[in-house]
Structure 1
């Protein structure tokens, strides 16, 4: 699967890592719903770090369709709330 981190680029991730990303997405959704800014920052960082750690970066000039689009590291809680909708960032 191809994952885009807004403002950073894309990475290719093995589908076997989806469970870890989904767990972090569930935590992020709960923190956004509670308005827990410190928890939101921590979990957003962990989610993005997981993509960076587990994925293989694509070249900057690659234009692959992204199956997941994640917010930039400096996204606000409100911006992510709008991205999340009702189901989280990771379709499940």
Structure 2
């Protein structure tokens, strides 16, 4: 098996600035910035725009799309339905 085939896999802190949340995991990502973690070790830190702490789907603030209401509104506006299709 080749030794240099896989990238360096090391501990990295990902920090969500919007939610003020950070988590330590292993990754192949690199960063020049570092942060001191709770265990006293220094790890590279990568700032992300969104994580599970700030994403609307995971926080329960996601909007549901009312497709039935949209179809009814379209039919009211443009006269859809069975009557419109029979006029041939």
TM-score bin, normalised by smaller chain: under 0.3
**Which structure has the higher relative contact order (CA within 8 Å, separation 6+)?**
1
Asked which structure has the greater CA Rg, the reply is 2
TM-score, normalised with respect to structure 2? 0.17
Q: Which structure shows the bigger proportion of residues in strand conformation?
A: 2
With normalisation by structure 1, the TM-score equals 0.17
**Which structure shows the higher helix fraction?**
1
